[in-house]
A and B are shown apart, each in its own frame.
Chain A
Amino acid sequence: MMLPPIPGPLRAPLDKAIEVNKAVLDLIRQSPPWKSIFRNPYPNTDENRALVMFNSFFLHIMPVKVKRNTLKWNYTFGMGLLTFYLFVLLTITGVFLMFLYVPAAGQAYTDMQRLGTNVAYGQLLRNSHRWAAHLMVLFVFFHMCRVFYTGGYKPPRDFNWVVGVILFVLTLLLSFTGYILTWDQLAASAITVGANIGAASPMYIGGLMKAFILGADDPGPPTLIRVYAFHVILLPFAVFTMVGVHFWRIRKDGGLSAPATGRKARQVIVPSTRGGFSVKDVPAVSPEAPLPAPPEEVRR
């Protein structure tokens, strides 16, 4: 869209305004506080695009460059990223819910009701926590399927797949413990089924599991407080730690999985005829292509 020409009398003050604006921004960008936070200029050159990733605590978890394949929507469907985002949103909404909820058998249910009646946006807060939890379970499962069907579990990502399976189980447990906290009949059904499954372990373990989950012979007040402790401290801490390991391993294993490119054998390091070594392009694309024969004579 073309802007209409600026009328003559306005041109000068407008130019002045732009100039002042730029001067103010420059003043801010060159001030010590700004420069102490943002350690490099705006990332519009390759060098600064690299520096911004190195210099930021929040960005340094990502590499400077990513494979094109990583950004293809139909390669990942963003499932892992969405799962992580949901965990972040659940943590934030969860903390606010902790302000408004007391995990005592006599009060928990009325606190839930109060969220819908006495708290500004309380119902929206609870709804978003609930639906985000369901979505997280769904996405973590789809993420696992995506990784499986694209062969992302193969070495060197083998251990990270195992970490992912553990995260899948932790997500289920996290969602399950949260489901109990509403202390309504849905919670009663869930804890009954859950305790029965726990009690089904062979011999002693079954009884111990049931006692561990319920804190009593039957679901009741002791159950609520220990499920709460699992839900707000133990399991989030475990997930947080394992997510750290999961992301760290992604970087260590060379980013997301991608099809092998013909590049594998296209470049090799060979001794240069002038002494030293050089990177050489090899016309062959096949990974099985033999390395080029070394020059017959290397001058000393």
Chain B
Amino acid sequence: MAKEETVVQDINPKDPNKTYGLMELMKGRAPLVDKGGPEESLFSWPHLMLWITVVFLGLLVVLVGISWIFDAPLREPFDVDVPENPAKAPWYFLNLQELLLHMDKSLAGVLVPTVVLGALMALPYIDRNTRDTGIWYGTKKGLQITLFTTVYTLGWITVGVLFDETNIYGGFLRLLPGLQHITVPTGVHLVAGDLALYKVSLATVVAGWLLPVVIMVGLTGLLVAIVEVRWRPNIRERAIALFTGFAVAYLYLIVISMFFRGLGMHLTWPWDLPPNAIPF
């Protein structure tokens, strides 16, 4: 094979009236690094322009089409004194509403979303390895972990929702005699200008806080442990397991709450839903 010739071209032509010397040689990245060379990039005009135009026109056609066929809902006039049954939030908050059925509202409505959003924002500061940027799932293992976590999350949420339906609001705790009558302080609040302890029954604490936290943390921990043992993951693959768990739970809880919750937000089949049970 012929020896490859190295092409050398001056980027700064030499001025014959000056003297030149090598000051320093340092290891670093060339200006072209990661910018894409001529063969890896295309002019925005016309390539990008064409696509953003086509996508816009396509969206417009689809949106007008949908709007032509389906009317936006308008129910009876606003009256909070006569609530609908079931009274459902818009679909993107139905996952939170579903969580409210299973735990204390501070936990479901404030703590869980705060932890999830905090974790999402912290993600890029934990996984900083850029070697596999731009590749779907990073590795083959990443895809396997995604699929496994999807099945894992769907399975456990189904089990949990069905279990809690028979014991909603900690009904099974009534089996433990005395738990209802023990009160514990959970905070302070103002009563007639004075700070007072806010007390709830131990059963509420166990059913609203202790069990849900133990179950959520435990199932997340079990997921991480399985992935750890089965796939020996790197940081990104661990993040894939956790993010997939979040994304699947986010969507699946919406589906359950929207299509499987009827009168009094009790479980029912979609075909047995009362009228107006789907908030659309």
Contact = CB atoms under 8 A, between A and B. Distances in A.
A189 B35 contact: no
A105 to B, nearest CB: 7
A145 B56 CA distance: 22
A127 B72 contact: yes
Interface stretch (A11-19, A61-69, A230-238): A61-69
Contacts, number: 311
A7 interface: no
Contacts of A186: 73, 75, 84, 90, 279
B172 interface: no
Contacts of A158: 124-125, 128
B71 A127 contact: yes
B124 A162 contact: yes
A65 B4 contact: no
B30 A132 contact: no
A277 B100 CA distance: 66
Main secondary structure of the interface of A (DSSP, over half): helix
A165 to B, nearest CB: 5
Interface residues of B, number: 106
Interface in B108-151: 108-110, 117, 120-121, 123-125, 127-138, 142, 146
B55 A81 contact: yes
A267 B131 CA distance: 19
A33 interface: no
B48 interface: yes
Interface in A109-152: 109, 112-113, 116, 123-124, 126-132, 134-135, 137, 141, 145, 148-152
B41 A128 contact: no
Contacts of B64: 124, 128
B52 interface: yes
A23 interface: no
Given A49-B43, A71-B42, A269-B30, A151 B88 contact: no
Interface in B46-79: 46-49, 51-52, 55-56, 59-60, 63-64, 66-68, 70-79
Interface of B: 4, 6-14, 19-22, 25, 27, 29-37, 40-49, 51-52, 55-56, 59-60, 63-64, 66-68, 70-80, 83-84, 87-93, 96-97, 100, 104-106, 108-110, 117, 120-121, 123-125, 127-138, 142, 146, 187-189, 236, 239-240, 243, 247, 250, 276, 279
Given A175-B92, A189-B88, A264-B29, 4 more contacts: A65-B41, A105-B78, A185-B84, A189-B279
Which 10 interchain pairs have the tightest Cβ spacing?
A158-B124, A197-B109, A127-B67, A130-B72, A189-B87, A200-B105, A275-B20, A185-B75, A259-B134, A128-B67
